[in-house]
Amino acid sequence: MGLFDFFKKKETAPEAQEALDKGLEKTKEGFFSKITKAVAGKSSVDDEVLDNLEEVLVTSDVGVTTTLKIIKRIEERVSKDKYVNTSELNFILRDEIQLLLSENNSNDFRQFEYGDHKPYVIMVVGVNGVGKTTTIGKLAHKLKESGLKVVLGAADTFRAAAVDQLKLWGQRVDVRVVAQPMGSDPAAVAFDTLQSAVANGEDVVIIDTAGRLHNKVGLMNELGKIKQVMQKVVPGAPHEILLVLDASTGQNAFEQCKQFTEATDVNALAITKLDGTAKGGVIIGISDQFKIPVKYIGVGEKIGDLQLFDKKEFVNSLFK
Ligand SMILES: Nc1nc2c(ncn2[C@@H]2O[C@H](COP(=O)(O)OP(=O)(O)O)[C@@H](O)[C@H]2O)c(=O)[nH]1
Ligand SMILES: [Mg+2]
């Protein structure tokens, strides 16, 4: 089985769709009841309806810029025929959100080619508590299930608990973890991990980092140094810089995305904790504003609660 073939499996798995629907429950409830209220008693899409809709999108954490874009498109679309009913408006809104998402990053994870890189190196970044280590554990599990040899590097050496937590995930999913004592140089851990991955012929390396957002220059230096040593061992590494964002933080997630994309070459996003929040709309705004593909979504704390982000499924689920 090729790299990342587990994607294909997911497409047909009804339990994945179920988990997504369940994970988005809170977002959907908020979204829907608000839309229903926004258009209650109206038989046409007038300025008031559009204003209400705008408010719904903004309060669903889609973000102001993206909301205005969506409203403008709906305005243009209904300008000819203002007499659309609620279900038609729902359809138009769904359609526009889907279009917007597909314009922003046409690359669905399925289409990415990983086969040329061995080991394929993923550096995971993001502020404390967003779900980096958990996402790494879940991802390692999926990759291992699909027959790949995976190794994890505990380069979040800032807190002892962080190293232990990764080791625990390593035990749970039965993958090797390279670690040094707390306070060690994160770059040295990354170096060791890559070197041993090459020696062992492992397929995927995932490096956990502390990603402390002390200040931009500090972050840039820290991540830059890790990248540099990686390249000494595996030219072109890291192939993926995965920024993890916690959906439940809403607008803070936008700010973190801004800071991290300025500090390093983030080329993939994971949005976690969609299950616990009504702020799932952040995915729409972040995709639109940063044009970085959302690859993974976290819909729970369990080992199986990581999914590939599928725009169409996501929007369908949101409007179900
Ligand atoms: N409900 C839920 N909790 C999550 C998800 N991802 C991570 N968490 C929880 O978020 C907390 C912080 O996660 P952790 O991986 O330690 O974050 P890190 O500091 O970025 O490494 C933990 O309690 C995780 O169980 C998710 O998708 N859904
Ligand atoms: Mg961690």
Return the domain boundaries, the chain. Answer: 15-103, 120-310
For domain 15-103, say whether CATH 1.20.120.140 is its number.
yes
- Residues forming beta bridges with residue 207, ordered by sequence position: 123, 153
With 50 as the cut, is the pLDDT of residue 1 above it? no
> What percent helix, strand, coil does the chain show, rounded to 5?
55, 15, 30
The predicted structure's pLDDT at residue 112 = 36
With 80 as the cut, is the pLDDT of residue 292 above it? yes
The ligand placed nearest to the CA atom of residue 160 is 2
Report the pLDDT averaged over residues 5-12: 46
Which amino acid is located at 31 in the chain? F
Distances (CA, A) of 165 to 131, 162, 170, 294: 12, 5, 9, 25
Atom of ligand 1 nearest to the CA of 156: 21
Q: In whole angstroms, what separates CA 7 from the centre of its chain?
A: 15
Q: How far is the CA of 299 from the centre of ligand 2 (A)?
A: 17
The predicted structure's pLDDT at residue 11 = 47
Report the pLDDT averaged over residues 9-22: 70
With 70 as the cut, is the pLDDT of residue 140 above it? yes
Q: Is 133 labelled as part of a ligand binding site? A: yes
The predicted structure's pLDDT at residue 185 = 94
Confidence of residue 60 (pLDDT cuts 50, 70, 90): confident
The predicted structure's pLDDT at residue 113 = 42
- Give nearest CA residue, ligand 1 atom 6: 131
Superfamily of domain 120-310: P-loop containing nucleotide triphosphate hydrolases (3.40.50.300)
Q: How far is the CA of 12 from the centre of ligand 2 (A)?
A: 31
Atom of ligand 1 nearest to the CA of 306: 27
Q: Is 170 labelled as part of a ligand binding site? A: no
The ligand placed nearest to the CA atom of residue 136 is 1
Confidence of residue 117 (pLDDT cuts 50, 70, 90): confident
Confidence of residue 26 (pLDDT cuts 50, 70, 90): confident
The predicted structure's pLDDT at residue 266 = 95
Confidence of residue 213 (pLDDT cuts 50, 70, 90): low
Q: In whole angstroms, what separates CA 220 from the centre of its chain?
A: 21
Q: How far is the CA of 184 from the centre of ligand 2 (A)?
A: 15
- Give nearest CA residue, ligand 1 atom 10: 131
Confidence of residue 305 (pLDDT cuts 50, 70, 90): very high
Q: How far is the CA of 287 from the centre of ligand 1 (A)?
A: 21
Residues with CB under 6 A from ligand 1: 126, 128-134, 165, 272-273, 275-276, 298-301, 305
Report the pLDDT averaged over residues 291-317: 89
Q: Is 167 labelled as part of a ligand binding site? A: no
Rounded CA separation 316/320 (Å) = 6
With 90 as the cut, is the pLDDT of residue 9 above it? no
- Residues forming beta bridges with residue 296, ordered by sequence position: 270, 308
Rounded CA separation 94/193 (Å) = 44
Report the pLDDT averaged over residues 209-218: 78
Report the pLDDT averaged over residues 229-246: 96
Average pLDDT over all residues of the chain: 86
The predicted structure's pLDDT at residue 320 = 74
Q: Which of 320, 319, 317 is nearest to 19 (CA)?
A: 317
The predicted structure's pLDDT at residue 46 = 83
The predicted structure's pLDDT at residue 146 = 86
Q: Is 274 labelled as part of a ligand binding site? A: yes
- Euclidean distance between the first and the last CA atom of the chain, given in angstroms as a whole number: 34
Q: How far is the CA of 95 from the centre of ligand 2 (A)?
A: 37
The ligand placed nearest to the CA atom of residue 166 is 2
Q: Is 127 labelled as part of a ligand binding site? A: yes
Report the pLDDT averaged over residues 197-218: 88
The ligand placed nearest to the CA atom of residue 276 is 1
The predicted structure's pLDDT at residue 10 = 46
The predicted structure's pLDDT at residue 110 = 52
Lowest mean pLDDT of 42-46, 54-58, 188-192, 244-248, name the range. 42-46
Name 276's Cβ contacts closer than 8 Å, sequence gap at least 6: 26, 248
- Give nearest CA residue, ligand 1 atom 26: 273
Q: Is 99 labelled as part of a ligand binding site? A: no
Residue with tokens 């314009």: 103
Lowest mean pLDDT of 2-6, 61-65, 254-258, 314-318, name the range. 2-6
